[in-house]
Structure 1
Amino acid sequence: MKVLVKKGWRPLGVLLLLLCIWEVYVKLANIQGWLLPAPSSIAKEGVSGYAELAPHIQSTVGLAIGGFLIGCAVGILVAILLHLVPGFHESVYPLLILSQNVPIIVLAPLLVIWLGFGLLPKVIVITLVCFFPVAVAAMDGFRSAPAEMKRYMLMVGASKMQIFTKLEWPYALSSVFSGLKISATYSIMGAVISEWLGAKKGLGVYMTLASSSFRTDRVFVAIFIIMFLSLLFFGVITLMENRLIKWRKRKVL
């Protein structure tokens, strides 16, 4: 964690430099605010309009967390079934890959037609976005367990479930957290896309209203908040990983 803090100033410095270049370019080129607002104008709008923006942020965060938890639970369950049930991997895994080739932006309107404008189609969209990285990462983690240790456990009479719980699952935790971090960043974007289906509030709704009224500064405010929330979710999962996988730290040291 200390290493991350020490190195954190480098990307932050690059980001500040890019924002300064952006600010100077907009001022010197005399670009209209509705076309490309300056970072200072975006920050001013974010501060002045926070009271209006806060309910949208809360709605998106709540939706993203709920969909993320359901999607990750489904992903881990699917990975366990694919790993433990004979013949299940060969039968179902190709279908999982095909499910990721269907564009969410195309599938979302169909879910509204089938399920209405309620919460269910939005949760399904986020679940579809989140479950696949977790499932693939978990399956790779299960296969990463040392073969010699599996043979040793079989020699002493361990069952398949004992091998999974005592060996394969602990070795898969690092891979599972990799999938969780990817899904955490996807969950925010999935929530925003799902809000385009017809939600009453949320960052997706806020962006749509701002774009239709040519309030480009508000659009950028929403974009920066989405980026910040994605980084925040990623950081929370990283902290959980550092706390739970202590054997990984000892191995590094």
Structure 2
Amino acid sequence: MHVWIQPIVSVLSLLLTFFYHIVKDWGIAIILLTLSVRCLLFPLSLRVARQQVKQAKIQEEIKQLRERYAQDPNKLMQETMKLYQGRGLKPFSMFTTFLIQTPIFMGMYSLFLTHGAAMSSVLIPWVISFSQNDAWHILPVLSGAITFVTNLIPLTSDFFVATPMNKRITMSLMIVPVFLFFMWKAPVALCLYWVTGSFWALMERGFYRTRKGKGLLNGTEGKRLIASKSHM
């Protein structure tokens, strides 16, 4: 494993050990560690979700631009970027969470690969050691199923128009096999981390469908809090 990953592995190891001393079970400790990481990343996740909502709202305008400048790719690019800037869209910012999670995932993989042999849990009784892969493939399949369902739930009603159900199903069917490929032979500890993260993503998607979640997505929740404080 690359040297630059080692500091991340050390921090994750300290946090995991801390949770283990509290709950006395490595499986539950991994779940708590995963939830802690996802809580810390929630502001970034919210930022990405807001960008996706803005993207969905301008799909009709994007379509009109493509029709208007079908014969002029350079003009189409200029007008598209102008539209993005006017609506506060930063396409590359949607990769921020992915880029941050990648070294964390690599750190988890290294941690579980080297220390997983000493870990086990009552949550996964069919596996002796967390360094082994899930011979029954229950966790990889569970993670794939949760990811599939999550991708079918739109963030807002605008996504029903921007991304029809059949297109979301097709995209999910393309994404899930990739998860299964990486998780099929991965250490059980890493699978448990991914299952927990997938479940968090599902709950997060459901939260965004609530009134408070919609307020956060549209930026109205923060404005409401500021307004309420100003009247105090």
Fold-level match, TM-score > 0.5?
no
- Of the two, which has the highest radius of gyration? 1
Output the TM-score relative to the length of structure 1: 0.31
More helix by share: 1
